[in-house]
Structure 1
Amino acid sequence: MTLPRLLPVAVALLGLACDPAANRVNRPNTPPPTPHQPNTDWELVWQDEFDGAAGTPPSSDRWVHDVGGHGWGNEQLEFNTDRTENTAHDGEGHLVITARQERYGNRDYTSGRIRTQGRYEPLYGRIEARIQLPVGRGIWPAFWMLGANIAAVDWPECGEIDIMEYRGQLPSILRGSLHGPGYSAGNNIGQEYVVSGKRLNEGFHIYAVEWEPDRIRWFLDDTMYMEVTPARLPAGARWVFDSPQFIILNVAVGGTFVGPVGRDTVFPQQMKVDYVRVYARPT
Protein backbone atom coordinates (compact mmCIF):
# COMPACT_ATOMS: atom_id res chain seq x y z
CA MET A 1 0.00 0.00 0.00
CA THR A 2 1.16 3.55 -0.69
CA LEU A 3 1.75 6.11 2.05
CA PRO A 4 -1.36 8.15 1.17
CA ARG A 5 -3.53 5.05 1.65
CA LEU A 6 -1.92 4.26 4.96
CA LEU A 7 -2.24 7.76 6.39
CA PRO A 8 -5.93 7.74 7.43
CA VAL A 9 -5.34 4.57 9.48
CA ALA A 10 -2.29 6.08 11.15
CA VAL A 11 -4.01 9.40 11.81
CA ALA A 12 -7.02 7.60 13.26
CA LEU A 13 -4.66 6.34 15.94
CA LEU A 14 -2.86 9.62 16.55
CA GLY A 15 -5.57 12.22 16.01
CA LEU A 16 -5.19 15.87 15.19
CA ALA A 17 -3.18 17.62 17.86
CA CYS A 18 -4.83 15.33 20.46
CA ASP A 19 -5.00 17.98 23.16
CA PRO A 20 -8.10 17.82 25.37
CA ALA A 21 -9.84 21.17 25.65
CA ALA A 22 -9.24 21.30 29.37
CA ASN A 23 -5.52 20.56 29.11
CA ARG A 24 -3.82 23.71 27.87
CA VAL A 25 -0.06 23.84 28.24
CA ASN A 26 1.03 27.20 29.60
CA ARG A 27 4.72 27.43 30.49
CA PRO A 28 5.34 30.05 33.20
CA ASN A 29 9.00 30.51 32.23
CA THR A 30 8.29 31.11 28.54
CA PRO A 31 9.31 34.64 27.47
CA PRO A 32 6.54 36.93 26.18
CA PRO A 33 5.94 37.26 22.43
CA THR A 34 8.43 39.54 20.70
CA PRO A 35 8.30 41.35 17.35
CA HIS A 36 10.34 39.51 14.77
CA GLN A 37 11.15 40.10 11.13
CA PRO A 38 11.92 36.88 9.19
CA ASN A 39 15.53 36.62 8.14
CA THR A 40 16.15 38.03 4.67
CA ASP A 41 18.27 35.08 3.58
CA TRP A 42 15.29 32.73 3.22
CA GLU A 43 14.49 31.90 -0.40
CA LEU A 44 11.14 30.66 -1.71
CA VAL A 45 11.32 26.98 -2.74
CA TRP A 46 7.67 25.83 -2.89
CA GLN A 47 4.31 27.55 -2.99
CA ASP A 48 0.65 27.29 -3.81
CA GLU A 49 -1.03 30.65 -4.43
CA PHE A 50 -4.45 29.05 -5.03
CA ASP A 51 -5.13 30.99 -8.22
CA GLY A 52 -7.40 28.32 -9.73
CA ALA A 53 -10.78 29.04 -11.27
CA ALA A 54 -13.78 29.22 -8.98
CA GLY A 55 -15.13 25.80 -8.05
CA THR A 56 -12.02 23.86 -9.02
CA PRO A 57 -10.22 21.52 -6.60
CA PRO A 58 -6.70 22.09 -5.29
CA SER A 59 -3.85 20.94 -7.52
CA SER A 60 -3.40 17.16 -7.49
CA ASP A 61 0.27 17.80 -8.19
CA ARG A 62 0.56 19.43 -4.76
CA TRP A 63 -2.24 18.02 -2.59
CA VAL A 64 -3.93 14.74 -1.69
CA HIS A 65 -7.36 14.53 -0.04
CA ASP A 66 -7.98 12.58 3.13
CA VAL A 67 -11.40 10.94 2.85
CA GLY A 68 -13.21 9.37 5.77
CA GLY A 69 -15.42 9.81 8.79
CA HIS A 70 -14.04 7.61 11.56
CA GLY A 71 -13.34 10.42 14.03
CA TRP A 72 -9.61 10.72 13.25
CA GLY A 73 -8.68 9.62 16.77
CA ASN A 74 -10.24 12.74 18.29
CA GLU A 75 -13.97 12.00 18.19
CA GLN A 76 -14.38 14.47 15.33
CA LEU A 77 -17.88 14.59 13.89
CA GLU A 78 -17.26 15.36 10.22
CA PHE A 79 -16.85 13.16 7.15
CA ASN A 80 -13.95 14.55 5.11
CA THR A 81 -14.61 14.38 1.38
CA ASP A 82 -12.78 15.12 -1.85
CA ARG A 83 -15.75 17.10 -3.18
CA THR A 84 -15.45 20.68 -4.33
CA GLU A 85 -18.37 21.45 -2.04
CA ASN A 86 -15.85 21.06 0.78
CA THR A 87 -12.50 22.08 -0.75
CA ALA A 88 -12.25 24.40 -3.75
CA HIS A 89 -10.77 27.58 -5.15
CA ASP A 90 -13.01 30.63 -4.92
CA GLY A 91 -11.68 32.31 -8.07
CA GLU A 92 -10.33 35.21 -6.01
CA GLY A 93 -6.96 33.71 -5.11
CA HIS A 94 -8.04 31.58 -2.16
CA LEU A 95 -8.56 27.94 -1.36
CA VAL A 96 -11.68 27.55 0.77
CA ILE A 97 -12.21 24.57 3.07
CA THR A 98 -15.90 24.47 3.98
CA ALA A 99 -17.50 22.59 6.85
CA ARG A 100 -21.16 21.86 6.20
CA GLN A 101 -24.01 20.55 8.29
CA GLU A 102 -25.37 17.70 6.18
CA ARG A 103 -25.88 13.97 6.45
CA TYR A 104 -23.09 12.20 4.59
CA GLY A 105 -21.30 8.90 5.18
CA ASN A 106 -23.23 8.29 8.42
CA ARG A 107 -22.04 11.64 9.76
CA ASP A 108 -23.92 14.87 10.35
CA TYR A 109 -21.20 17.16 8.98
CA THR A 110 -18.78 17.25 6.05
CA SER A 111 -15.51 19.08 5.62
CA GLY A 112 -12.16 18.93 3.85
CA ARG A 113 -8.65 17.83 4.76
CA ILE A 114 -5.70 17.96 2.36
CA ARG A 115 -2.00 17.08 2.65
CA THR A 116 1.19 17.24 0.62
CA GLN A 117 2.25 13.69 1.51
CA GLY A 118 4.01 12.08 -1.44
CA ARG A 119 3.95 15.43 -3.28
CA TYR A 120 6.12 17.70 -1.17
CA GLU A 121 7.81 16.88 2.14
CA PRO A 122 10.24 19.57 3.33
CA LEU A 123 13.05 19.14 5.81
CA TYR A 124 13.56 22.44 7.66
CA GLY A 125 12.61 25.87 6.40
CA ARG A 126 10.06 28.59 7.03
CA ILE A 127 6.60 27.14 6.43
CA GLU A 128 3.84 29.73 6.35
CA ALA A 129 0.25 30.26 5.26
CA ARG A 130 -1.97 33.32 5.11
CA ILE A 131 -5.37 32.29 6.45
CA GLN A 132 -8.70 33.72 7.52
CA LEU A 133 -10.24 31.48 10.16
CA PRO A 134 -13.88 30.48 10.72
CA VAL A 135 -15.73 31.06 14.01
CA GLY A 136 -18.20 29.13 16.13
CA ARG A 137 -18.25 26.69 19.02
CA GLY A 138 -16.98 23.28 17.95
CA ILE A 139 -15.11 24.46 14.83
CA TRP A 140 -11.46 23.35 14.75
CA PRO A 141 -9.28 24.60 11.87
CA ALA A 142 -5.61 23.65 11.68
CA PHE A 143 -2.43 24.13 9.65
CA TRP A 144 0.06 21.46 10.68
CA MET A 145 2.69 18.89 9.70
CA LEU A 146 3.41 15.19 10.22
CA GLY A 147 6.58 13.18 9.75
CA ALA A 148 6.75 11.59 6.31
CA ASN A 149 7.95 8.38 7.97
CA ILE A 150 4.64 7.91 9.82
CA ALA A 151 3.85 4.61 8.07
CA ALA A 152 7.18 3.16 9.21
CA VAL A 153 7.43 4.44 12.78
CA ASP A 154 3.83 5.44 13.65
CA TRP A 155 2.82 8.40 15.78
CA PRO A 156 4.12 10.14 17.83
CA GLU A 157 7.57 8.83 16.85
CA CYS A 158 7.16 10.50 13.45
CA GLY A 159 6.73 13.92 15.08
CA GLU A 160 3.96 16.46 14.63
CA ILE A 161 4.30 20.23 14.30
CA ASP A 162 1.05 22.13 14.84
CA ILE A 163 1.74 25.47 13.19
CA MET A 164 -1.74 26.78 13.93
CA GLU A 165 -4.81 25.39 15.58
CA TYR A 166 -7.69 27.23 17.14
CA ARG A 167 -11.02 26.76 18.85
CA GLY A 168 -13.84 28.51 17.01
CA GLN A 169 -15.42 29.50 20.32
CA LEU A 170 -12.22 31.31 21.37
CA PRO A 171 -11.52 33.47 18.30
CA SER A 172 -8.76 35.52 19.92
CA ILE A 173 -6.61 32.56 20.99
CA LEU A 174 -4.08 30.80 18.75
CA ARG A 175 -2.18 27.66 19.72
CA GLY A 176 1.07 26.14 18.49
CA SER A 177 2.20 22.69 19.62
CA LEU A 178 4.86 20.04 19.22
CA HIS A 179 4.20 16.30 19.59
CA GLY A 180 6.79 13.54 19.83
CA PRO A 181 7.61 10.43 21.86
CA GLY A 182 7.10 11.30 25.53
CA TYR A 183 5.45 14.68 24.81
CA SER A 184 2.28 14.01 22.83
CA ALA A 185 -1.50 14.37 23.07
CA GLY A 186 -2.43 16.23 26.26
CA ASN A 187 1.24 16.27 27.30
CA ASN A 188 2.45 18.07 24.19
CA ILE A 189 4.81 21.03 24.32
CA GLY A 190 2.69 23.99 23.34
CA GLN A 191 1.61 27.51 24.01
CA GLU A 192 -1.43 29.69 23.47
CA TYR A 193 -1.17 33.25 22.22
CA VAL A 194 -3.96 35.73 22.89
CA VAL A 195 -4.35 38.47 20.27
CA SER A 196 -5.67 41.94 20.99
CA GLY A 197 -7.89 44.02 18.79
CA LYS A 198 -9.63 42.20 15.95
CA ARG A 199 -10.33 38.52 16.40
CA LEU A 200 -8.58 35.95 14.21
CA ASN A 201 -11.74 35.30 12.17
CA GLU A 202 -12.04 38.95 11.20
CA GLY A 203 -9.18 39.05 8.72
CA PHE A 204 -6.23 37.22 7.20
CA HIS A 205 -3.13 36.47 9.28
CA ILE A 206 0.17 34.78 8.52
CA TYR A 207 0.82 31.64 10.57
CA ALA A 208 4.35 30.25 10.35
CA VAL A 209 7.12 28.19 11.84
CA GLU A 210 10.83 28.55 11.24
CA TRP A 211 12.12 24.99 11.52
CA GLU A 212 15.86 24.53 11.83
CA PRO A 213 18.05 21.75 13.23
CA ASP A 214 17.42 21.63 16.98
CA ARG A 215 15.10 24.66 16.97
CA ILE A 216 11.51 25.51 15.95
CA ARG A 217 9.95 28.97 16.30
CA TRP A 218 6.24 29.84 15.97
CA PHE A 219 4.91 33.12 14.54
CA LEU A 220 1.70 35.04 14.14
CA ASP A 221 2.32 37.69 11.48
CA ASP A 222 5.63 39.27 12.56
CA THR A 223 5.49 38.15 16.18
CA MET A 224 7.34 35.12 17.50
CA TYR A 225 5.40 33.69 20.44
CA MET A 226 7.11 30.35 21.09
CA GLU A 227 10.44 28.62 20.58
CA VAL A 228 11.20 24.97 21.32
CA THR A 229 14.62 23.30 21.39
CA PRO A 230 15.64 19.85 22.63
CA ALA A 231 16.38 21.45 26.00
CA ARG A 232 12.63 21.90 26.55
CA LEU A 233 11.82 18.23 26.09
CA PRO A 234 10.95 16.08 29.12
CA ALA A 235 13.88 14.22 30.64
CA GLY A 236 14.85 11.28 28.44
CA ALA A 237 12.61 12.31 25.52
CA ARG A 238 13.94 12.30 21.95
CA TRP A 239 13.92 15.15 19.44
CA VAL A 240 12.42 13.64 16.27
CA PHE A 241 12.28 16.73 14.04
CA ASP A 242 15.24 15.93 11.83
CA SER A 243 13.46 14.19 8.96
CA PRO A 244 10.99 15.42 6.30
CA GLN A 245 7.39 16.30 7.12
CA PHE A 246 4.34 16.95 4.97
CA ILE A 247 1.85 19.81 5.28
CA ILE A 248 -1.84 19.47 6.21
CA LEU A 249 -4.76 21.91 6.06
CA ASN A 250 -8.16 20.99 7.48
CA VAL A 251 -11.28 22.11 9.31
CA ALA A 252 -12.59 19.63 11.88
CA VAL A 253 -16.04 19.73 13.45
CA GLY A 254 -16.23 18.81 17.12
CA GLY A 255 -13.65 16.63 18.81
CA THR A 256 -11.67 16.49 22.02
CA PHE A 257 -9.86 19.80 21.49
CA VAL A 258 -12.95 21.96 20.89
CA GLY A 259 -15.82 20.00 22.41
CA PRO A 260 -19.34 19.74 20.96
CA VAL A 261 -20.80 21.97 18.27
CA GLY A 262 -22.69 24.92 19.72
CA ARG A 263 -26.37 25.34 19.09
CA ASP A 264 -25.63 28.83 17.83
CA THR A 265 -22.85 27.75 15.44
CA VAL A 266 -23.94 28.68 11.93
CA PHE A 267 -23.04 26.52 8.92
CA PRO A 268 -21.40 26.52 6.48
CA GLN A 269 -18.10 27.50 8.13
CA GLN A 270 -15.14 28.38 5.93
CA MET A 271 -11.38 28.61 6.32
CA LYS A 272 -9.90 30.72 3.51
CA VAL A 273 -6.26 30.11 2.61
CA ASP A 274 -4.58 32.82 0.54
CA TYR A 275 -1.35 30.88 0.06
CA VAL A 276 1.03 28.29 1.48
CA ARG A 277 4.74 29.02 1.02
CA VAL A 278 7.92 27.26 2.03
CA TYR A 279 11.28 29.01 2.26
CA ALA A 280 14.74 27.48 2.69
CA ARG A 281 18.22 28.73 3.44
CA PRO A 282 20.33 29.12 0.29
CA THR A 283 22.89 26.35 -0.03
Structure 2
Amino acid sequence: MVNVAGGRLALTAQPASKNGFSYIAGTISSKGRRQVGPHGRLTTRQFLHPGYGVSVGVCLFGMNIDSVGWPAAGEIDATEIALSRPGSPFGSAHGPGYSGDSPISGTYSGPLSSLVGRWVTHTLEWEPGVLRWAIDGAVYHEARATDPRAVGGWPFDAPFFVVLTMTVGSYLGGAIDTRTWPKGASGVKTARAEFDFIRFEQLVDA
Protein backbone atom coordinates (compact mmCIF):
# COMPACT_ATOMS: atom_id res chain seq x y z
CA MET A 1 0.00 0.00 0.00
CA VAL A 2 0.98 3.66 -0.44
CA ASN A 3 -0.01 6.52 1.85
CA VAL A 4 1.12 9.95 2.98
CA ALA A 5 1.04 10.90 6.68
CA GLY A 6 2.81 13.66 8.53
CA GLY A 7 4.34 14.87 5.28
CA ARG A 8 6.03 11.53 4.61
CA LEU A 9 5.36 9.00 1.88
CA ALA A 10 5.15 5.39 3.10
CA LEU A 11 5.21 2.07 1.27
CA THR A 12 3.83 -0.82 3.31
CA ALA A 13 3.33 -4.56 2.92
CA GLN A 14 0.97 -6.86 4.79
CA PRO A 15 -0.25 -10.46 4.68
CA ALA A 16 -3.45 -10.39 2.61
CA SER A 17 -4.92 -12.59 -0.09
CA LYS A 18 -5.29 -10.85 -3.45
CA ASN A 19 -5.22 -12.17 -7.03
CA GLY A 20 -3.81 -15.47 -5.86
CA PHE A 21 -0.99 -13.92 -3.83
CA SER A 22 -0.58 -14.00 -0.05
CA TYR A 23 0.77 -10.48 0.44
CA ILE A 24 0.09 -6.97 -0.76
CA ALA A 25 2.76 -4.28 -1.06
CA GLY A 26 3.01 -0.69 -2.22
CA THR A 27 4.45 0.67 -5.46
CA ILE A 28 4.16 4.16 -6.93
CA SER A 29 5.36 5.41 -10.32
CA SER A 30 5.82 8.78 -12.01
CA LYS A 31 5.17 7.24 -15.45
CA GLY A 32 2.66 9.36 -17.33
CA ARG A 33 2.93 12.06 -14.67
CA ARG A 34 6.50 13.30 -14.54
CA GLN A 35 9.79 12.46 -16.24
CA VAL A 36 13.31 13.23 -15.04
CA GLY A 37 16.52 13.87 -16.90
CA PRO A 38 18.41 13.17 -18.88
CA HIS A 39 21.13 13.88 -16.31
CA GLY A 40 20.84 15.33 -12.86
CA ARG A 41 20.80 14.29 -9.20
CA LEU A 42 18.15 12.09 -7.58
CA THR A 43 18.10 12.18 -3.78
CA THR A 44 15.86 10.26 -1.40
CA ARG A 45 15.85 10.23 2.38
CA GLN A 46 14.56 6.92 3.69
CA PHE A 47 13.68 5.24 6.98
CA LEU A 48 13.40 1.46 6.73
CA HIS A 49 11.63 -0.77 9.23
CA PRO A 50 12.54 -4.47 9.73
CA GLY A 51 10.98 -7.21 7.62
CA TYR A 52 12.68 -10.39 6.39
CA GLY A 53 11.50 -11.31 2.90
CA VAL A 54 10.88 -7.68 1.95
CA SER A 55 12.91 -5.55 -0.45
CA VAL A 56 12.70 -1.84 -1.23
CA GLY A 57 13.84 -0.12 -4.41
CA VAL A 58 14.05 3.30 -6.04
CA CYS A 59 14.32 2.57 -9.76
CA LEU A 60 14.33 4.61 -12.97
CA PHE A 61 13.18 3.31 -16.37
CA GLY A 62 13.53 4.83 -19.83
CA MET A 63 10.43 6.69 -20.99
CA ASN A 64 10.57 4.75 -24.27
CA ILE A 65 10.18 1.36 -22.58
CA ASP A 66 6.80 0.70 -24.21
CA SER A 67 8.27 1.10 -27.69
CA VAL A 68 11.74 -0.46 -27.37
CA GLY A 69 11.23 -2.77 -24.39
CA TRP A 70 13.49 -3.67 -21.47
CA PRO A 71 16.48 -3.59 -21.12
CA ALA A 72 16.95 -1.53 -24.30
CA ALA A 73 15.19 1.41 -22.64
CA GLY A 74 17.58 1.25 -19.68
CA GLU A 75 17.04 0.84 -15.96
CA ILE A 76 18.90 2.63 -13.17
CA ASP A 77 18.43 1.21 -9.69
CA ALA A 78 19.17 4.26 -7.57
CA THR A 79 19.02 2.01 -4.54
CA GLU A 80 17.84 -1.51 -3.75
CA ILE A 81 17.95 -3.28 -0.42
CA ALA A 82 16.78 -6.59 1.02
CA LEU A 83 15.69 -5.98 4.61
CA SER A 84 17.18 -9.35 5.55
CA ARG A 85 20.57 -7.87 4.59
CA PRO A 86 20.13 -4.31 5.90
CA GLY A 87 23.80 -3.37 5.66
CA SER A 88 24.17 -4.25 1.97
CA PRO A 89 22.17 -1.88 -0.24
CA PHE A 90 23.32 -1.67 -3.84
CA GLY A 91 22.96 0.32 -7.04
CA SER A 92 22.83 -0.99 -10.61
CA ALA A 93 22.62 -0.02 -14.25
CA HIS A 94 20.76 -2.33 -16.67
CA GLY A 95 21.11 -2.00 -20.44
CA PRO A 96 21.50 -4.11 -23.57
CA GLY A 97 23.87 -6.96 -22.73
CA TYR A 98 24.09 -6.16 -19.01
CA SER A 99 20.74 -6.75 -17.33
CA GLY A 100 18.84 -9.13 -15.08
CA ASP A 101 21.36 -10.93 -12.90
CA SER A 102 24.33 -9.38 -14.76
CA PRO A 103 23.99 -5.59 -14.47
CA ILE A 104 26.79 -3.13 -13.82
CA SER A 105 26.28 -3.18 -10.07
CA GLY A 106 28.00 -2.25 -6.84
CA THR A 107 27.23 -2.94 -3.16
CA TYR A 108 27.65 -0.49 -0.29
CA SER A 109 30.41 -1.38 2.18
CA GLY A 110 30.53 1.80 4.26
CA PRO A 111 30.44 2.43 7.99
CA LEU A 112 26.70 1.78 8.49
CA SER A 113 26.16 -1.83 9.55
CA SER A 114 22.41 -1.53 9.01
CA LEU A 115 20.12 0.93 7.23
CA VAL A 116 17.11 -0.24 9.24
CA GLY A 117 15.89 2.00 12.04
CA ARG A 118 17.60 5.21 10.93
CA TRP A 119 17.23 8.01 8.40
CA VAL A 120 19.63 7.56 5.48
CA THR A 121 20.16 9.75 2.39
CA HIS A 122 20.63 7.98 -0.95
CA THR A 123 21.98 9.92 -3.93
CA LEU A 124 22.27 9.06 -7.61
CA GLU A 125 24.55 11.39 -9.61
CA TRP A 126 23.56 11.06 -13.27
CA GLU A 127 25.95 12.71 -15.71
CA PRO A 128 26.70 12.19 -19.42
CA GLY A 129 28.48 8.85 -19.65
CA VAL A 130 28.70 8.22 -15.90
CA LEU A 131 26.48 7.22 -12.96
CA ARG A 132 27.52 7.45 -9.29
CA TRP A 133 25.78 6.08 -6.21
CA ALA A 134 26.26 7.47 -2.68
CA ILE A 135 24.89 6.95 0.83
CA ASP A 136 25.07 9.84 3.27
CA GLY A 137 27.45 11.57 0.86
CA ALA A 138 29.92 8.68 0.50
CA VAL A 139 30.21 7.35 -3.08
CA TYR A 140 30.22 3.53 -3.15
CA HIS A 141 29.75 2.69 -6.85
CA GLU A 142 30.31 4.16 -10.30
CA ALA A 143 29.27 2.99 -13.77
CA ARG A 144 30.65 4.43 -17.01
CA ALA A 145 29.67 4.25 -20.65
CA THR A 146 33.26 3.17 -21.37
CA ASP A 147 32.82 -0.03 -19.32
CA PRO A 148 33.40 -3.00 -21.67
CA ARG A 149 30.13 -4.53 -20.45
CA ALA A 150 28.26 -1.55 -21.93
CA VAL A 151 29.45 -2.22 -25.48
CA GLY A 152 25.87 -3.01 -26.49
CA GLY A 153 24.74 0.52 -25.71
CA TRP A 154 24.38 3.18 -23.01
CA PRO A 155 20.67 4.15 -22.93
CA PHE A 156 21.00 6.68 -20.10
CA ASP A 157 21.12 9.92 -22.10
CA ALA A 158 17.32 10.14 -22.36
CA PRO A 159 14.37 10.94 -20.07
CA PHE A 160 13.34 8.39 -17.44
CA PHE A 161 10.48 7.91 -14.99
CA VAL A 162 10.84 6.95 -11.32
CA VAL A 163 9.34 3.98 -9.45
CA LEU A 164 9.35 3.48 -5.68
CA THR A 165 8.60 -0.14 -4.95
CA MET A 166 8.31 -2.66 -2.13
CA THR A 167 8.22 -6.39 -2.89
CA VAL A 168 7.61 -9.47 -0.77
CA GLY A 169 9.21 -12.86 -1.37
CA SER A 170 11.12 -11.89 -4.50
CA TYR A 171 14.50 -13.31 -5.49
CA LEU A 172 16.08 -10.21 -3.92
CA GLY A 173 13.96 -10.20 -0.77
CA GLY A 174 14.52 -13.87 0.02
CA ALA A 175 12.61 -16.04 2.47
CA ILE A 176 9.65 -14.41 4.20
CA ASP A 177 9.61 -14.37 8.01
CA THR A 178 6.72 -12.24 9.31
CA ARG A 179 7.94 -12.80 12.85
CA THR A 180 10.48 -10.05 12.07
CA TRP A 181 7.77 -7.65 10.86
CA PRO A 182 6.49 -5.11 13.41
CA LYS A 183 2.76 -4.74 14.03
CA GLY A 184 1.04 -1.78 12.44
CA ALA A 185 -1.56 0.47 14.05
CA SER A 186 -4.27 -2.10 13.28
CA GLY A 187 -2.31 -4.89 14.94
CA VAL A 188 -1.47 -6.54 11.59
CA LYS A 189 2.13 -7.48 10.81
CA THR A 190 3.37 -4.67 8.53
CA ALA A 191 6.65 -4.00 6.73
CA ARG A 192 7.21 -0.30 6.14
CA ALA A 193 9.53 2.09 4.30
CA GLU A 194 9.17 5.85 4.78
CA PHE A 195 10.40 8.62 2.47
CA ASP A 196 10.99 12.07 3.95
CA PHE A 197 11.64 13.47 0.45
CA ILE A 198 12.30 12.45 -3.15
CA ARG A 199 14.08 15.25 -5.02
CA PHE A 200 15.40 15.52 -8.56
CA GLU A 201 17.73 18.33 -9.63
CA GLN A 202 18.07 18.69 -13.38
CA LEU A 203 21.58 19.05 -14.81
CA VAL A 204 21.80 21.68 -17.52
CA ASP A 205 24.30 20.24 -19.99
CA ALA A 206 26.90 22.69 -21.25
1:211 aligns with 2:151: no
- What per-residue deviation string (whole Å, max 9, x for no partner) do you get for residues 219-262 of structure 1? 11111111111111426321111111001101100111222212
Q: CA RMSD in A?
A: 1.5
Query: Counterpart in 2 of 1:248?
Result: 163
Q: Aligned to 2:60, what secondary structure does the other structure show? A: strand
Who is 1:15 aligned against?
A: none
Q: Secondary structure at the match of 1:249?
A: strand
- Consecutive unaligned residues of structure 1, counting only runs of 5 or more, are 1-85
The 1:239/1:88 distance shift into structure 2, 3 A limit, reads: same
Identity level (%): 30
8 Å Cα contact 1:173/1:195 also seen in 2: no
Deviations 1:249-283 (A, max 9, x none): 01100111222212533230100001110112357
CA offsets 1:144-201 (integer angstroms, 9 cap, x no match): 1000100000000000000110011111111101100000011111011134345201
Match in the other structure for 1:280: 202
Q: Which has the higher strand share?
A: 2
Specify which structure has the bigger relative contact order, considering alpha-carbon pairs within 8 angstroms and separated by 6 or more residues.
2
Q: Which runs of 5+ in 2 are unaligned?
A: 182-188
The residue aligned with 1:113 is: 27
CA contact (8 A) 1:134 1:141 kept: no
Out of 119, 140, 148, the residue aligned to residue 225 of structure 1 is 140
* Runs of 4+ deviating beyond 4 Å: none
For the residues of structure 1 that align with 2:133 and 2:61, how far apart are their CA atoms? 16
Size of the aligned set, in residue pairs, is: 197
Partner residue in 2 for 1:73? none
1:118 Cα offset (Å): 1.5
Q: Is the 8 A contact 1:160 1:180 kept in 2?
A: yes
The alignment status of 1:186 with 2:101, answered yes or no, reads yes
Which residue of the partner structure matches residue 185 of structure 2? none
Looking at structure 1, the residues matched to 173 and 202 of structure 2 have their Cα atoms a distance apart, in angstroms, of: 34
**How far apart are the structure 1 equivalents of 2:85 and 2:150?**
33
Offset at residue 140 of structure 1 (A): 0.6
Contact map agreement 2:95 2:150 (CA 8 A) in 1: no
Tell me, in whole angstroms, the C-alpha distance in 2 between the residues paired with 1:263 and 1:95: 23
Distance in 1 separating the partners of 2:204 and 2:107: 32
Q: What secondary structure, in the 3-state scheme, does the structure 1 residue paired with 2:116 have?
A: helix
Relative to the length of structure 2, the TM-score reads 0.90
Q: TM-score under structure 1 normalisation?
A: 0.66
Contact in 1 for aligned 2:123/2:137 (Cα 8 Å) = no
Mapping 1:104-143, distance limit 5 Å? 104-123=18-37, 124-143=39-58
